[in-house]
Amino acid sequence: MAGTLVNRQHVRRRRLSPITAMRGAAVIVILALWQAISASGLLYNGVIPSLLAILRALVQVVFGSELYRNMAVTGFEVLGALLIGGIAGIAAGLALGASRFLSRAYEPYVHYLAPTPKIVFLPVLMAALGVGPASKLALGAISAFFPMALSIAAGVRQVDPVLLRVARSFRLSRFQIVRMIYLPALVRPISVGLRLAFGLAMVGCLLSEIALSNRGLGYLAAQDYAHFQIAHMYAVLIVVFVLAAAGNAAIVWALRRPGEA
């Protein structure tokens, strides 16, 4: 038993190390390429500052107070958007995927509305909800709804019909079928849909902060660009990307199957 435990740990350590090495190598290549382009003068280095300039700006950003209060605002907006848009999207996706009638009646409209650039509805949302975080959250929620609904609907339709027939032959209730057949089968589509929804919610919230706000990470980055403090802007964007990565990792971890690392 102890030997198995040691073996598993050893395997896990061996599995982690090449992944980290691969990621590290990719990061080094990207950074080296950036520095080479910045130093070469091939492109305007006002927009491609050196890594040192970006690092200095990153230190300023991370150890300054401005970042954290703006991060709290954006974080609240994105989480709220994901919660509302995600739950609504799952519910809609389940309904559309499980019912051919509902799918034929309403799924085309979900498709048709999905490509709308939601930013054009910002004035309407601000008129209804004010210029504070609520309107940004609403825009993020609307953005998150569509990939979630479409991904879940497609996932529901791919559930093996044999499993459904077995469930019916065991006279499981609709709720039991959803809980024991659909939801386990939908973990992967939910994960993919949630990650896309998270991305769109984040972009929706950030874009609305750029359009009209007085706080948030999008506002911070937009002000940096307006004042041409490009290194500072990249530092804020690095923080945004790190938050996006953390959010994605949290989703993957929360939806991993038992036994998965």
Partner 1 sequence: MATRREQFLARLIPMATGFATLILLLALWQGAAMAGYVNTFIAPAPWDIAQSFPDLFADEDVLGALAQSFAETFGAAAIAGAIGIPIGWWLHSRRLAGLAFENWVANLAAAPLVLLYPLFLVVFGRNAATIVAMAVVTALPPIVLKTKEGLDGVRRTLINVGRSLRLSHRQIFLRIMLPAAAPVIGNGLRLGLILSLISVVGIEFLIHFGGMGDLIATLGDRFEVAKMFAAICFVLLTSVAFFFIGEQVDKWLARS
Partner 2 sequence: MVRRMLVLAAAALLATQAAQADSLKVAIPQKGNWDTGFVDYGIKQGFFKDAGLDVETVYTQGGSQTIQEAISGSVDIAMGTGILGILGAYSKGAPVRVISAEMTGAGDLIWYVKADSPIKTLKDTGGHTVSFSEAGSSSNLVLLAMLQQAGVTNAKPVSVGGIPNARTQVMSGQIDVGWSGVPFGLTEAKAGEIRIIARGLDSDIFKNETVRVNFLNTTVLAEKKAAIDTFNKVYAKTIAWSYSDPKAIDYFAEATGVSHDVAQQARDEYLPPPSVQPYEIKGLDLALQQAADFKFTAKKLTPEDVAPLFSDMMKKP
Q: Applying CB under 8 A, which residues contact partner 2?
A: 43-44, 46-47, 122-123, 126-127, 130-131, 210-214, 219, 222-223, 225-229
The closest of 204, 189, 211 to 255, measured between CA atoms, is 189
Site string for partner 1, 164-193 (x = CB under 8 A): ------------------------x---x-
Does 210 interact with partner 1 (rule: CB under 8 A)? yes
Q: Which does 212 bind (CB under 5 to 8 A by kind): partner 1, partner 2, none?
A: partner 2
The closest of 166, 199, 192 to 180, measured between CA atoms, is 166
Comparison of 76 and 106: residue with beta carbon closer to partner 1: 106
- Shortest distance, position 1 Cβ to partner 1, whole Å: 27
- Shortest distance, position 142 Cβ to partner 1, whole Å: 12
Buried b or exposed e, range 187-212, using 16+ CB within 10 angstroms? eebbbbbbbbbbbbbbbbbbbbbbbe
Does 22 interact with partner 1 (rule: CB under 8 A)? yes
What phi-psi label fits residue 49: left (phi over 0), alpha (psi between -120 and 50 degrees) or beta?
Answer: beta
Give, to the nearest 10 degrees, the angle between helix 230-254 and helix 51-63.
70
- Shortest distance, position 115 Cβ to partner 2, whole Å: 22
For partner 1, the binding residue among 1, 5, 44, 175 (CB under 8 A) is 44
Does 132 interact with partner 1 (rule: CB under 8 A)? no
- Shortest distance, position 77 Cβ to partner 2, whole Å: 15
User: How far from 209 is each of 45, 151, 201, 256, CA to CA, in Å?
Assistant: 27, 27, 12, 33
The closest of 159, 153, 172, 148 to 251, measured between CA atoms, is 148
For partner 1, the binding residue among 51, 79, 87, 102 (CB under 8 A) is 102
